Chain A
Amino acid sequence: MKEILTAKPGDKLYLLGNEAAVRGALENRISVASTYPGTPSSEIGDVFYEIAGEAGVYFEFSTNEKVALEVAASAAVSGLRSFVWMKHVGLNVAADSFMSLAYTGVRAGMIVLTADDPSMFSSQNEQDNRWYARLGNVPLIEPSNPQEMKDLMGYAFEVSEKFGLPVLMRTTTRVSHMRGVVDMGSVNVGSKIGHFVSDPTTLVPLPANAYKAHKRVVEKLQAVQEFANKSEWNRVIDKGGNLGIIASGPTYNYAMDIVKENNLKVKILKLTLTYPFPEGLVLDFLKSIDSVLIAEEVDPIMEKEVYSLLGKYGVNKKVYGKLDGTLPMVYEYSPDILKNALSKAIGVKLPGKALLSTDLTLPARPPVFCPGCPHRGMYDAVEKVVKELCIDAVFPSDIGCYTLGYMPPFHKADYLLSMGSSIGTGSGLSKFSGKRVISFIGDSTFFHAGIPALINAVHNNDTMTVMILDNRITAMTGGQPNPGMAMEGKKEISIEAIVRAIGVNFLTTVNPYNIKASHEAIKEALSTEGVSVVISRQPCVLIVPKKKVTFMVDPQKCTGCKICINEIACPAMFVREDGKVVVDEMLCNGCGVCVQLCPEKAIIVRR
């Protein structure tokens, strides 16, 4: 990772789009960088975390995306270039402040990167954050590959500074997690000390100021539109013919490859600075062709812009896209989807390979708690107590590894909306569902958005139990630090102190590897009126590997009852052909939870 900082001009590195963005920032006078981790944006933070100190850049993992955006904005109004990034749904969290950014403006370049997740590889929805550019009145830039992610950082800073507006950079999973060969330029990092000049009429959007600011923003956007018409990043690749393709982001790659492979005569308009929509450029392009295919993910945003242009100027062209059913309204595109759409637009079926398929049954392989994951034992303990006390429970869940509590055999996720929602919905469900609420949330998510909801529940005298699964890391996104961790130069925040200060009726902390202690703790929490909190504390096994010993099954003692497998479904355990269980030595992380479950005491330390 170090080479992202140390590579020399002219070097070529094989980088993820996200990694290339970091290099782009380093080459373009970045001063301040902040984020809250979220797939598919997380690797940007992983790289900064590693190199920021050496590079002389201020970097932090903030408590949530809104705070991260505010930290970056404060740098930008102090005259320092700043960069904040998040996954698409993170921008919802940051939206309250984001919506005022264009009004107050920036004094140095500011880039807000949103990593969207079409097809939802790691997300709860596939919202198209290009809408946020329109909603927040900010210019929008869409890179197509890692090289562009690097090069567009400098361009985005320039656009931001030229117009005094933050710039929204939108990637998707296929761009952020695309790896490619990237040419390096020179590193040129900005100063960490800025200078804030007070100007409340601009920077404090109280109604009278906001009233004037909105008009100013609209004028700025008109100027950006003129600029976008002439941007070198919005360009036509003319291969002749009467069909046009308008593409942005990863769909440009698909379109170009198909056109080249099939030697098609089409004109491609690659749009990169896509909002404000470059009307003049697009209108000229439309006039040069008979029909146009719009290739964009996920919503038909540019397509509607094109229809609007055609109507406004009374031009009649055939438009192929989502709205006429040529392309799907949901999910990411693939080369095959775009090839079919192009076949329809040119009226000729483009050749493809003979397709292969199989009738054999394949095993389902959904994601699962890792072997040795501390959450596994806690879910098992909750299940047992709920059964023992004959409780009719509902389990609001949250965003993080414990979302996997949804999977069999646990089935402990009944409702999920967003980061922190397990406690907010739990507070509501405790009054409206007729069931006993047991919410699951992680340490990082608790800091991020759980605290206000816990205050709400306590304040409203709700009866619910909150299980805070504290694995001492932000795990699902690859292991980023959070405020609950002791780190050099940072102050550790105690979850217990927060929970106690809010005034819950019951609080205890247990080690989830100890099934009996966990059992007792949950039992007591569920017997308490009001809000009770159980903190399940044990570091993530990927971050702090356990494995002092591994376990094995004594085949003489194993009766094949499968209690271990049916209760915790550890991926390190398998059933042999004779019905007995075996533990895979490689996979076992030595947590010992299975040992406590076996009624025959057949699981023993491997010698």
Chain B
Amino acid sequence: MKTYSIYIAGVGGQGVVKTSMVLGKACVKKGVNIVMSEIHGMSQRGGSVPAEIKIGDALNPVIENGGTDLLISFEPAEALRAINKCSNQTIAIINKSPIIPFTVSLGISQYLNPEEYISELKSKLKKVVVLDAESIAKESGNILSLNMVMLGASAAVTDFPVGKEYLIEAMKESLPEKAIEANLKAFESGYELSHKEL
């Protein structure tokens, strides 16, 4: 199959790695190959935490510049930070709530209006879907299900290589039992919203 490249951007603690784990399990269930590169260690302490994923026959998970098919960003500024990995063919799913780093509070760095980051991406990428994943997660009953809102929204993208049914099965195996209901709800809400927009 043609390789499908997914770049997940976020901040340490947002559940980037967990999201990719669910995606990976779903791929194993479907019988397609997946490789991923993730960041551990010092950068996890509140730093930018990107994960790079290729589904298909690729051996190497690191995405070449401009090579991203789908950008999933848990945070607006982190989405724009990934611009060099994107092209005018990239589709992006972005959570609208910013996480302001301490450098901005200290006045040694600047965080523009998140809308600016999003419109910049809208002007350059093929399609950008913006979600209030935090509110959707809260409505679903668990703020920590934010990452499953994002995964659900991604699953609605036309070329997304793994079907909903595999993802849901993988979620049931990977998430704590008491959190599954909220996470499934979050996933479905993300899917519906994104489906409408796409």
Taking each of A357, A362, A569, A574, which has the highest tally of chain B beta carbons within 10 Å of its own beta carbon? A362
Query: How far does the alpha carbon of A153 sit from the alpha carbon of B39 in the complex, in Å?
Result: 24
CB-CB under 8 A from A179, the residues of chain B are 20-21, 24, 34-38, 61
Q: Does residue A437 face the partner (Cβ distance < 8 Å to B)?
A: no
The reply to whether A362 and B77 form a contact with Cβ atoms under 8 Å apart is yes
| CA A339 to CA B43, docked complex, whole Å | 28
Total number of B residues with any Cβ neighbor in A under 8 Å: 62
Expressed in whole angstroms, the minimum distance between the Cβ of B58 and any Cβ of chain A is 5
Are A360 and B120 within 8 A (Cβ)? yes
A177 near B120 with CB under 8 A, answer no
The residue of chain B having its C-beta at the shortest distance from the C-beta of A122 within the complex is B41
B81→A362 contact, CB < 8 A: yes
Instruction: Report the separation of the CA atoms of residues A573 and B102 in the bound assembly, to the nearest whole angstrom.
Output: 8
Of A38-46, A104-112, A594-602, the stretch lying at the interface with chain B is: A38-46
Stretch of A127-135, A363-371, A447-455, A524-532 at the chain-chain interface: A363-371
Instruction: Report yes or no: B66 in contact with A369, Cβ–Cβ below 8 A.
Output: no
Name the segment of A154-162, A250-258, A298-306 touching the other chain.
Answer: A250-258
Knowing A353-B65, A353-B87, A358-B80 are in contact, say whether A364-B103 is a contact too (CB < 8 A): yes
Closest Cβ of chain B to A369, distance in Å, is 7
Q: Are B106 and A569 in contact (CB under 8 A)?
A: yes
Q: A177-B37, A367-B46 are in contact. Are A257 and B59 (CB under 8 A)?
A: yes
Is A88 in the interface zone, CB < 8 Å from B?
A: no
In the complex the two chains form, what is the Cα distance from A260 to B143 in whole Å?
43
Chain B positions 170-192 with a Cβ under 8 Å from a chain A Cβ: none
Contacts of A250 in B (CB 8 A): 60
- How many chain A residues touch the partner (CB < 8 A)? 64
Are A174 and B77 in contact, CB atoms less than 8 angstroms apart? no
How far is A367 from B12 in the complex, measured between Cα atoms in Å? 9
* Chain A residues within 8 Å of B47, by CB: 365-368
B67 on the interface (CB 8 Å rule)? yes
Q: State whether the Cβ of B83 lies closer than 8 Å to any Cβ in chain A.
A: yes
Whether B64 lies near A336 (C-beta < 8 A) is: yes
B198 contacts partner chain A, Cβ-Cβ < 8 Å:
no
Q: Are the C-beta atoms of A404 and B45 separated by less than 8 Å?
A: yes
What is the CA–CA distance of A352 and B101 in the complex, to the nearest angstrom?
34
Instruction: Indicate whether A13 reaches chain B with its CB closer than 8 angstroms.
Output: yes
How many Å from the CB of B139 to the closest CB on chain A? 15
Question: Would A352 and B112 be within 8 Å (CB), given that A121-B41, A358-B120, A362-B80 are in contact?
Answer: no
| B46-77 CB contacts (< 8 Å) to partner A | 46-48, 57-67, 77
Contacts A177-B38, A352-B64, A363-B100 given; does A14 touch B28 at CB 8 Å? yes
Residues on A with beta carbons closer than 8 Å to the beta carbon of B77: 362-363, 365
- Expressed in whole angstroms, the Cα–Cα distance for A177 and B111 within the complex equals 30
Q: Does A575 contact B (CB under 8 A)?
A: yes
> B123-141 interface mask toward A, CB cutoff 8 Å, 1 = contact, 0 = none?
0100000000000000000
Residues on A with beta carbons closer than 8 Å to the beta carbon of B89: 353
Question: Whole-angstrom distance between the alpha carbons of A478 and B44 in the complex?
Answer: 10
Residue from A365, A369, A409 with most neighbouring chain B CB atoms (10 Å): A365
1/0 contact trace for A283-294 toward B, CB 8 Å?
000000000000
Chain A's nearest CB lies how many Å from the CB of B22? 10
Interface residue? A144 (CB, 8 A): yes
Contact across chains for B64 and A569 when beta carbons are under 8 A apart: no
A355 sits at the interface (CB 8 A): yes
CA distance A178 to B77 in the complex (A): 25
Asked whether B197 is an interface residue with its Cβ less than 8 Å from the other chain, the reply is: no
Q: Which A residues, 110 to 145, have Cβ-Cβ distances below 8 Å to chain B?
A: 121-122, 144-145
A401 to B42, CA, bound (A): 8
Of all chain A residues, the one with the shortest Cβ separation from B43 is: A367
Which residue in chain B gives the minimum CB-CB distance to A182?
B28
Residue-wise, chain A 544-559 has the 8 Å CB interface mask toward B (1 for contact) of 0000000000000000
- Extra pairs beyond A339-B64, A352-B65, A364-B101 (11, CB < 8 Å): A122-B43, A257-B59, A334-B62, A353-B64, A356-B87, A361-B112, A365-B77, A365-B101, A566-B106, A570-B102, A573-B105
| Interchain Cβ contacts under 8 Å between A and B, 22 examples | A12-B28, A14-B21, A39-B40, A145-B35, A177-B40, A179-B20, A179-B37, A253-B59, A253-B60, A353-B65, A353-B67, A354-B66, A355-B84, A356-B124, A365-B11, A367-B44, A367-B45, A368-B101, A370-B46, A476-B42, A571-B46, A571-B102
Where the two chains meet, the residues of A that have a C-beta atom closer than 8 Å to any C-beta of B are 12-14, 16, 39-40, 42-43, 121-122, 144-145, 174, 177-181, 250, 252-254, 256-257, 260, 334-336, 339, 352-358, 360-370, 401, 403-404, 408-409, 476-478, 565-566, 569-571, 573-575, 586
6 shortest interchain CB distances as A-B pairs: A353-B66, A122-B41, A39-B41, A253-B60, A14-B24, A253-B59
